[in-house]
Amino acid sequence: MILEKKKIFNDFAASKGLRSTRQRDIILDIFLSTRQHVSVEELYLKIKASNPGIGHATVYRTLKLFSEAGLAREILLHDGQTRYEHAVAGEHHDHLVCTGCNSIIEFEDETIEKLQKDIAARHGFLIKNHKLEIYGLCAACRQ
């Protein structure tokens, strides 16, 4: 699983003429070890703990690359920070975002995905990706 993702990134890097660097390896390792939806800052701090040398800009730059490589996906919630979630080719999940405790529940729904394709087709639109976020209160916060 992790090896497979590393391969995906290496293939992407090769196809783009990018070099393999210590920093990118480390950032990928740590990114893969996090749970979903890390903000860049969270990831940066985690990286700095074991690798104080790695700079802010490198983390930003590298996450963008992961995104292009299809390993990560940018998500914007409403807290002013860009977050990244793990992406798996051909798979997609959406989010129930609790505005009470900021927890995120993931779900998948094939019917919704299919309906989206229908709508896109009706408009002659070519889908690259999509995001569906449902905001509200989770079971715990409703009480």
Residues lying near a copy of itself in the complex (CB under 8 A) are found at: 74, 76, 78, 96, 98-99, 105, 107, 109, 111-112, 115-116, 119-120, 123-139, 142
**Alpha carbon distance, N-terminus to C-terminus of the chain:** 39
By beta-carbon proximity to a copy of itself, the closer residue of 15 and 129 is 129
Query: Interface with DNA includes 104 (CB under 7 A)?
Result: no
Nearer to a copy of itself, 60 or 135 (CB): 135
Amino acid symbol at 66: F
**Which strand (E) or helix (H) includes residue 85?**
strand 82-86
Nearest 5°: phi and psi at 83? -115, 160
Tell me the residue type at 136. G
Shortest Cβ distance from residue 57 to a copy of itself (Å)?
Answer: 17
Residue 115 sits at the vertex; the CA angle it makes with 111 and 120, to the nearest 5 degrees, is 150
In contact, 64 and 18? CB cutoff 8 Å = no
Binding residue (CB under 7 A) for DNA from 30, 62, 95, 104:
62
24 binds DNA (CB under 7 A): yes
- Pairwise CA distance, residues 114 & 116, whole Å: 5
Mark the segment that binds DNA (CB under 7 A) among 15-23, 89-97, 108-116, 134-142: 15-23
Q: Residues interacting with DNA, by CB under 7 A?
A: 13, 17-24, 39-41, 53-58, 60-62, 64, 80-82
